[in-house]
Structure 1
Amino acid sequence: MKKNLLILAAFATISSCQINHQEKEEASAVGSGGWLAGDTNEKFEEVAHQLGGFSKTMIEVSYRYSELYWAGMDENWQYADHQVEHLLEALEDGLKRRKERAASAESFLNEAIPSIEAVIKKEDKEEFLKGFRSLTSACNACHAKEGESFIMIKEPEVRTSPVRF
């Protein structure tokens, strides 16, 4: 009996220490300069806010789209394939945060992306240009489905990346 009481007391002490440690951990600010503060839920909410919605996704997609274009112009097919892969990843991550955009993106993901992937495999610049223009049309169609046809995508005119083949 005495042994059971000792075990129970030890367990209660350990549990209490763990709870106190968790409370301190949740209340402590983290990040450079302690910018991420609050309990665990508040911290997760702030991280979600920092990740943003679909507009931050579109920043990366825009970069990948431009790099894809220049990769095709350079006939750097591995780099073009790399850009499509990361463009797709960016869209998938963005759709996790904004599921309501998924219906508009469905044909883009299921048709436009596989189509440009197939064109890249042909390693033909003229075919790539046709496929890229089709991809651009798909971008604009998706924007229109979202009621944002004022966001009109066109082929890049200025190369901003230092990547060359």
Structure 2
Amino acid sequence: MKKTILNLFALALLASCQTAVNEEKSTAVGSEGWLAGTSEEKFEEVAHQLGGFSKAMVEVSYRYSELYWAGMDENWGYAEHQVEHMIEAIEDGLKRRPVRAESAESFMKESLPAMEELIKKENKEEFIKGFRALTSACNACHAKEGESYIMIREPEIRTSPVRF
């Protein structure tokens, strides 16, 4: 009988501890407490703030333009830097939207590595040809996703203050 009472007491204690663990305090964090809710709700909000693939494409667009101007300036270190960050931005976007991976595969495994190799040659004429091939690959990827209305062209206006 004593064992049964002790076992019941132990089970009741365990259940109350489990309930305490499951009842999470909701503490707002961030500037002025904008991030509120349970941990799960906060993670959902952060995921929403990061967005899907479109926010990654905003960064890729910036890096694409900077890559172009780096090549025009023959600033090969800066060009290499841009390709590295394009790869990172796309990889991050693919983590959030893995459904895009199939369309991006040749771009990631062929187009960007080809651009990296061209940059190593430090030849502006070859860079321009390679950049045009990269642009075509961008547009091909968009077409694979059914978004051929997103047409990429070589930058015409330089918006960055970075110069070599």
**TM range, smaller chain:** 0.7 to 0.9
Give the partner amino acid of 1:158.
Answer: I
* C-alpha distance in structure 2 between counterparts of 1:55 and 1:90, whole Å: 11
Tell me how far 1:48 sits from its aligned partner. 0.1
Determine the structure 1 residue equivalent to 2:47: 48
Q: Please name the residue that 2:6 is paired with.
A: none
Aligned pair count? 154
Provide the secondary structure at the position in 2 that maps to 1:23: coil
Shift of 1:164: 0.3
Q: Which residue pairs with 1:159 in the alignment?
A: 158
Per-residue CA deviation, residues 111-156 of structure 1 (Å, 9 max, x unaligned), is 1011000100000000000000000000000000000000000000
> What CA distance in whole angstroms lies between the structure 1 residues aligned with 2:76 and 2:61?
19
SS of 1:33 mapped into structure 2: helix
CA distance in 1, matches of 2:39, 2:113: 40
Matched, 1:97 2:106: no
Is 1:23 aligned to 2:39, yes or no?
A: no
User: For structure 2, which runs of at least 5 residues remain unmatched after alignment?
Assistant: 1-12
Match of 1:33 in 2: 32
Amino acid at match of 2:99: E
Partner of 2:81: 82
Q: What's the C-alpha RMSD, in Å, of the aligned pairs? A: 2.3
Distance 1:45 1:90 in 2: 20
SS in 1 for 2:150: coil
Q: Does 1:147 align with 2:146?
A: yes
Shift of 1:23: 2.4
Structure 1: state its 5+ residue gaps. Answer: 1-11
What one-letter code is carried by the residue in structure 2 that aligns with 1:23? E
Partners of 1:126 and 1:87 lie apart in 2 by: 22
Match of 2:9 in 1: none
Letter in 2 for 1:42: E
1:117 matched residue in structure 2: 116
| CA–CA distance in structure 2, aligned partners of residues 42 and 68 of structure 1 | 38
Q: What's the TM-score, normalizing by structure 1?
A: 0.87
Displacement over 3 Å in runs of 4+: none
What TM-score, normalized by structure 2, do the two folds share?
0.87
Distance 2:27 2:149 in 1: 44
* Counterpart-to-counterpart distance in 2, 1:94 and 1:54: 5
Match of 1:3 in 2: none
Specify the code of the residue in structure 2 equivalent to 1:164.
R
What does residue 61 of structure 2 align with?
Answer: 62
